[in-house]
Amino acid sequence: MTERFIRRCSSATSCFLTLLVLCGIFSSGSVKAKQIQEDYLRNVSIANTSPEITYTPFFCNSSTSEVDCKGGWRALDVDGLTVVSTDGPSEGGVNIVPQMFFSFRASNLFMTTSPLSNVSINVTVLTGNVTVNAMANSSLGSLAVVNLQETDTTTISITYVPDLQMPARLDIGNITIMVKNDSVSSSFLPTQTLPPSISLPTVIPTSSSSNSATPTTTSDNTKKKLVAHAVGLTIGLGLGLTAVACVIYMLWRRRRRKQREDSMVAGGTIDHASASRWNRELPSLAEPGRQSMSSYLSRRATKDHKDTRWFR
């Protein structure tokens, strides 16, 4: 095609001018396409202390002392740049893994870290029905999430990965998202919610000699109290039922004996055991000064009545 075009040219000068015109048309077309794309999208800077960003376990304000802020996040100045920094779980503070959550609607996200940041991080991106998880080192200085669907809500979480061998630090610097030029803040910054697929902070060991999570004693104390209550209730019921059974048995024997004696006196019949007892007691009743048989039986009946009157 180029050879055919050159043959049709009357002179080298006219051909050169024609090529320049064609190149000008192509270059102007590419510039216009780039300009349309730039007009269609715009960059929006999100402050790293914005309320749309959630920091766990907590975010310290300017009045919080350094001792009270151990294990949390705080705003610092690094070479004139405001960063949100954490040193990870603290043995003298909160023993929870620091995490950052940010939900947005945009096609791209860019984030920077400070030169002092050196900890490994776990980056989880949830958009639509897709979840992507990756490990990185914050010393690289920046990370990017691109080719997102702007109509979907995307949630990015950054988890501090502790290094038990040396102190490590994570600094969150600038955050920039790319959105449509006509987008309003309410459309690309939805209400912050934690997605169900992203786990909440977990307890981790702070000593290199410990390989298991630090246990909590609250649940153990509750279980011990429940066991103690159950044992005490069982013992109390056992003793109470035993005492009631003994009292009922004694009353039953006393009433049975009384009924047997009354029936013997009324019917005039005495069994062998009763005859032996009467033989032992009759001589003493026959002695001078002793009471008669009727008075003796009356006294026994009165005594039985007094012993059982509270249980009738």
Q: Are 104 and 148 in contact (CB under 8 A)?
A: no
Beta strand 74-78 pairing with 175-180? unpaired
First to last CA, the chain: 128
Q: Give the closest residue to 281 by CA, choosing from 266, 297, 267, 268.
A: 297
The contacts of residue 199 (CB under 8 Å, 6+ apart) are none
Structural domain boundaries of the chain? 43-188, 227-311
What is the C-alpha to C-alpha distance for residues 118 and 171, in angstroms, rounded to an integer? 9
> What is the full DSSP assignment across 161-229?
E--TTS---EEE--EEEEEETT--HHHHSPPP---TTSPPP-B---STT--SPPPPSHHHHHHHHHHHH
Q: Give the closest residue to 98 by CA, choosing from 106, 108, 87.
A: 87
Where on the phi/psi map is residue 54: left (φ > 0), alpha (ψ -120 to 50), or beta? Answer: beta
Q: Are 304 and 260 in contact (CB under 8 A)?
A: no
Classify burial at 139, counting beta carbons within 10 Å of its beta carbon; exposed 0-12, middle 13-18, buried 19 or more.
middle
Output the pLDDT for position 19: 35
Output the pLDDT for position 22: 38
Beta strand 74-78 pairing with 130-137? unpaired
What is the C-alpha to C-alpha distance for residues 264 and 191, in angstroms, rounded to an integer? 95
- Which single residue is written with the structure tokens 């987008």? 183
Backbone angles phi, psi at 121, to 5 degrees: -130, 150
CATH homologous superfamily of domain 43-188? Answer: Galactose-binding domain-like (2.60.120.260)
What is the C-alpha to C-alpha distance for residues 71 and 69, in angstroms, rounded to an integer? 6
pTM of the model: 0.50
pLDDT tens over the chain, length 312 residues: 444 444 444 444 444 433 333 344 334 444 444 444 555 788 999 999 999 999 999 999 888 888 888 889 999 999 999 999 999 988 766 778 999 999 999 999 999 999 999 999 999 999 988 999 999 999 999 999 999 998 899 999 999 998 878 889 999 999 999 998 766 666 778 765 554 444 444 434 433 333 444 444 556 677 777 888 788 888 888 888 898 889 898 888 888 877 776 776 565 555 555 555 555 555 554 455 455 555 656 666 666 555 555 445
What is the C-alpha to C-alpha distance for residues 260 and 254, in angstroms, rounded to an integer? 10
